Chains A and B, each alone.
Chain A
Amino acid sequence: MVQQAISERITPRDLREGGAARVLARIRAGEGYYITNTERDLSQSDFKNRIMPHTQILVSKERNDAGYLSLEITGGASIHVDMLRKQINPLEKLEILSSLMPDTMFQTLCRGINLFGYRPYPENVIRLTVKSFAPYVHLWRVFDFLNYIPNMTAVFEEVQKAGCILEPSICFSTGPEHTDKFYVGKVGEILAVTGDDIILCIKNHGGLGSSKRIGDLVKSILDRYPDLIVHYHGHNTDGNDVGRIVEAVRNGAKIVDAADHAFTGFYGPPPILTVIDTLDEYGHRALGINRQAVVDTSNKLRPQREYYKDLESQFLGFDPTVQTHKLPGGATGSSFEQAVKGDFLHRMPSILQEELPRVQIELGNWWSVTPGSQILWTTAVNNVLNDKRYKDANDDLKNLMLGRYGELPFYKPSDDVYQAVFGPNWKEIVQREKGYQKIEDVDLDVEKKVLDHRLGRAATEGEFVLYLQHPNDAVNFFKFEEKYGKTWVLPPCVWFNKGGFTLGEKFEFSDAYGKHHIVEIGPKQTTKTGDAVVYLNINHHPEPILAELQQEGEGKKRKVALSAKEIAELAQSGDVRSPIKGTVSEIPVTAGEEVSAGQILIVLEAMKMLNNVISEINGVVAEVLISPGDAVDVGDPIMSVEKKV
């Protein structure tokens, strides 16, 4: 039995030595099904993407022994969050984990042309990025939020060129347009581009549809393409993903997604063991799996969960209404987080159950997944919070409606929606600007020089690739790392601490270079300037460390909350204030430049969407008060424009 389990198992070595086609032949011939441990999706859906490297390293041996077909450990929003909130280089993370888990294939989730970000990247950036991640990532799940095949072809080509396993996806949703016929047709479109040596993913990011619906879909696809390997991916938001998985496997799916039960929540994948044991009753065997290692993983993970409690969703519990609002599991936690930060948590029922479904139908009933889910969500939130629906539509929605991101699959929004978004001249605007947007290649040499300049040193190739994904957040991370070192070695009880530590609290860890340290918390004093001196007993030696604290009140200008009306009035006088809380993404103008009313002054990023700050007057830019990467709050002064007389 044990012997058999070993021979059924597929490892990176099999891929390296036999190639993708032979690995796929083994999966196809296997008498049973394989499991992907979707750690990344669990982390993203139920822990705001914050499961730390320390925890991943802790269970690396058990997970490696468990015999999964793959471990989904990167991609999606994780590359951004790795740098933004976990302060680890996503490539370094893969390097470390792959050295600890040599027998497990790693899987990524790639958004096609939107790669690991939220909007289309130039093709040369896409190709370079795939090349940089390919050494660590064996299995590439690729999707497009419009199921628009041309948005994925560059990634397809690079993945196949790199000798990795390609797993194109059909994004799944429900409604009258979402028929088996439609999806089987999409599979045909994919196969026409990729050839037969792929895995096909049914990407059910919302956990939508009944068990029967999924079983029927798998059957329809396999009836048409009997040799195709189907990988079912779902979310347990309504509490019934095990049911869907069972029906997917009973109808011929060869790979399914699940996660370690010690960390399973409500919006991510269901527990692995439940899947294994349920399918066992039906006579379907999980191939390559070492059941005890799956149990051991969770036994070891369980005590860690308490450190993550602040990252779990504000609402705990399954949400069967997902069948109505269709929010993907990966966006649920962050949506609630925004609702809390934006103080509109009480309006969530109406946003989720009324406005979001309405917007979805109005805009074309395509798939609520990145970046489409953000467009739908932001639009619905704005519609509810603003007095007028579709007012101040962001560029992403406009681009989508202009067809710049690809063809809408079923129907176009109504004229009323176009008019609400583009204004009275909407017809003219749409006529002028519509069409698929081909993103021009960037000059990589120039971009590299810009990065080197911003860092004050030569960036590595890996750093450059990360910079191309998220320029400002990547630079901030690189600077963080220079100052604070490789902090991913810190345990989550340190990283997520709230309220400070207790006197005498002790942490033992080894640094990224293998040196063992003990740090004990000593007394804390306040300096005359209001900063703190913290005494740490570092490796048995007391060391005073100055921690600068931002002084609120006296030292700094007290913040004045401005209303939208006041901000608009100030803008008329050239005092440009931030209308939202967000991050400065781009400043297309410079001091001294002449600007005219309607011209874009600053691009702010919030909720992953870009928002333009427009000049209300004709004048000259007198002063730019912020830089790319700066965080701004509502009412913060960001620029001044002198009115032309």
Chain B
Amino acid sequence: MHMMAGKSIQRVLVANRGEIALRLIRTIKELGLEAVAVYEKPDKEALFIRSADDAIMIGDGPRKDYLNIDRIIWAARKSRADAIHPGYGFLAENPDFPSACAEAGITFIGPPSSVIHDLGNKIVARKIMEKAGIPITPGTGNIDPGEGGAQEAIAFGEKYGYPLMLKASSGGGGRGIRKVEDAKALLVQIPLARSEALHAFNDANIYIEKCIENPRHIEIQILADQHGKVIHLGSRDCSIQRRHQKLIEIAPADLPADVLALMCDTAVLAAREAGYISAGTVEFLVDADTNEFWFMEINTRLQVEHTVTEMLTGVDIVREQIMIAQGAHLDIPEVRFHLLGKAIQVRVNAEDPRNDFMPEGGKRVEVYQSPGGPGIRLDGSAYQGYNIPTEYDSLLVKMTVRGHNWEQTVQRLKRALNDFLIVGPKTTIPFYLAICDEPDFQRGKFTTSYLETHPQVFKYPENRREIAKLSQLIAEIHAKKINPYAY
């Protein structure tokens, strides 16, 4: 990457928390820059603060100050940061944030405000894509709140058939989506979806899309510099989801080469049409039988699952974002776009999958031992003694494994999951292990309905380790100064 005469960044404020804050700090350090962390009070013991060169407490939180643009800008000024990386979530897709940064003379590491604004509105985004000739699922514009809207909705349903999806125009990340099975439900759901959208996204607008049944969720990672160059870094399959929240991400997607090539070209075209800059993700729905695909949305942020792409390409996407923000030209060799092997990411959460993935907030990680060896990448926030926060998410660590083909990568995933030793909270590890042993997964056959059609993966054994049982007795003998079971 050639540096242009752009603004040179010295000190980057990381406007996020948890594993992604740590992940960003790592690249910032690799570039020889300084990293500033910000944190809400409940996060005062967090690991990412230990890695930063400076850390600023921005408020009592929780999930309030990380969303407060003024507080973040204040912290940047206070710490003399000249750039801000928003990570994912929180302010990452708030179009006001890049504007506020610009006003303060701080470089925002991400897309321009206008791009976030346009692509953040699903109706606008669909219109851009439609104009460029990119396939989109049949859908409406914003539904009118009155009787006219209801009629339009019914008419749409009659034309394209049920089920339909009701979506919040400003939604994203799988939130604000409702599936309706018939006209009657449609009329009931419209006002509910509208009030939910207003509450969640501060925008009551909703629209209707035809529902593609049991699709695959495939996305393309793109990078675009300030000089009009747009490239892709290949595909990811994020089909295995729970209520539209991704659980397992795989790169590349298992699709015929010509289909993938067409999707990648389409993604590049879409980004170009949107005037995209920085890293982004173009999401598609793919018919599992015909491989027909439709544009879904562009995520204008670094994604949780960017790690699988990094593992396969060797490209540090965060590094590219920082370079792009400084005005550099993209010059990643094209050989990097041809992904070799397979990578899988799982999110190891402190949750009880059997109890509807109930977070184990408040519990303490008594023992934390993580795997290593070939092909393992860990992005985490947990450590021995870590208290699972009740205020934030329950992610302990993201593990990404890479292998040379699907079979070997699944075996490696299983090995690495077994090498984890986490005592204290329940985790999603036994659940992932059950998936590793499930034949359809082993064959690489899964769609977004995987969990509904494979309920057996929830029937994993919950065995305590034998040594934990034996140690319990040794500890009791020690504490009681006698073995009551022997005398």
Contact = CB atoms under 8 A, between A and B. Distances in A.
B477 A541 contact: no
Interface stretch (B169-177, B321-329, B465-473): B465-473
A532 interface: yes
B369 A484 contact: no
Contact of A511 (B384, B470, B481, B482): B470
Contacts of B479: 500, 524, 531-532, 534, 547, 549
A87 B474 contact: no
A511 B480 contact: no
Nearest to B481: A500
B470 to A, nearest CB: 5
B477 A497 contact: yes
Interface in B436-487: 466-483, 485-487
A515 B467 CA distance: 9
Contacts of A538: 467-468, 471
A545 B472 contact: yes
B421 A541 contact: yes
A395 B473 CA distance: 38
B478 A539 contact: no
A534 B472 CA distance: 9
A494 B474 contact: yes
A544 B366 contact: yes
A135 to B, nearest CB: 26
A499 interface: yes
B423 interface: yes
B483 A497 contact: yes
A487 interface: yes
Interface string A470-506: 0000000000100111110110001111111100000
B486 A547 contact: no
A545 B475 contact: yes
Given A521-B478, A534-B479, A547-B475, A511 B467 contact: yes
A85 B487 contact: yes
Chain A binding surface, main DSSP class: mixed
A340 to B, nearest CB: 12
A507 B474 contact: yes
Contacts of B472: 483-484, 545, 547
A50 B482 CA distance: 15
A227 interface: no
A118 B323 CA distance: 84
Interface majority SS (helix, strand, loop, mixed), chain B: helix
B477 A543 contact: no
A282 interface: no
Given A521-B478, A524-B479, A547-B479, A489 B485 contact: no
Given A543-B367, A543-B471, A545-B471, A50 B486 contact: yes
A16 interface: no
A524 B477 CA distance: 12
Contact of A483 (B467, B469, B481, B483): B469
A547 B474 CA distance: 10
Contacts of B474: 490, 494, 501, 507, 519, 521, 536
Nearest to A481: B469
A484 B367 contact: no
A597 interface: no
Contact of A484 (B470, B480, B481, B487): B470
B367 A541 contact: yes
A302 interface: no
B195 to A, nearest CB: 46
Contact of A500 (B421, B466, B478): B478
A521 B471 CA distance: 10
Given A541-B369, A543-B423, A494 B469 contact: no
Contacts of A519: 467, 470-471, 474
Interface string B364-381: 001101000000000000
A547 B476 contact: yes
Interface string A54-87: 0000000000000000000000000000000111
Given A513-B466, A519-B471, A524 B478 contact: yes
B466 A485 contact: yes
B477 A494 contact: yes
Interface string A207-219: 0000000000000
Nearest to B367: A543
A300 interface: no
Interface in A508-542: 511-513, 515, 517, 519, 521, 524, 531-532, 534, 536, 538-539, 541-542
B167 to A, nearest CB: 47
Nearest to B473: A484
B482 A498 contact: yes
A547 B487 contact: no
Contacts of A501: 474, 477-478
B467 A517 contact: yes
Contacts of B477: 494-495, 497, 500-501
Contacts of B384: 542
A507 B366 CA distance: 22
A536 B469 CA distance: 12
A107 to B, nearest CB: 26
A515 B486 contact: no
Interface string A411-452: 000000000000000000000000000000000000000000
A536 B482 contact: no
Given A85-B486, A85-B487, A534-B475, A485 B481 contact: no
B485 A480 contact: yes
Nearest to A513: B466
B421 to A, nearest CB: 7
A143 B159 CA distance: 90
Which of B470, B472, B482 has the most CB atoms of chain A within a 10 A radius of its CB?
Answer: B470
Nearest to A532: B479
Nearest to A483: B469
A495 to B, nearest CB: 5
Contacts of B421: 541
Contacts of B483: 494-497
Contacts of A507: 474
Interface in B364-422: 366-367, 369, 384, 421
B110 to A, nearest CB: 40
Contacts of A512: 466
B154 to A, nearest CB: 54
A347 B466 CA distance: 47
Nearest to B482: A498
A484 B469 contact: yes
A113 B384 CA distance: 57
26 contacts: A86-B486, A87-B485, A484-B485, A486-B466, A486-B470, A487-B485, A494-B474, A495-B483, A495-B486, A496-B486, A497-B477, A497-B483, A500-B477, A500-B478, A511-B466, A511-B470, A517-B470, A519-B470, A521-B478, A534-B475, A538-B468, A541-B367, A545-B475, A546-B475, A547-B476, A549-B479
Interface of B: 366-367, 369, 384, 421, 423, 466-483, 485-487
Closest 9 CB pairs of A and B: A485-B469, A547-B479, A532-B479, A534-B475, A545-B475, A484-B473, A500-B481, A547-B476, A511-B466
Given A495-B477, A497-B481, 7 more contacts: A487-B473, A496-B483, A501-B478, A515-B466, A538-B471, A544-B366, A545-B475
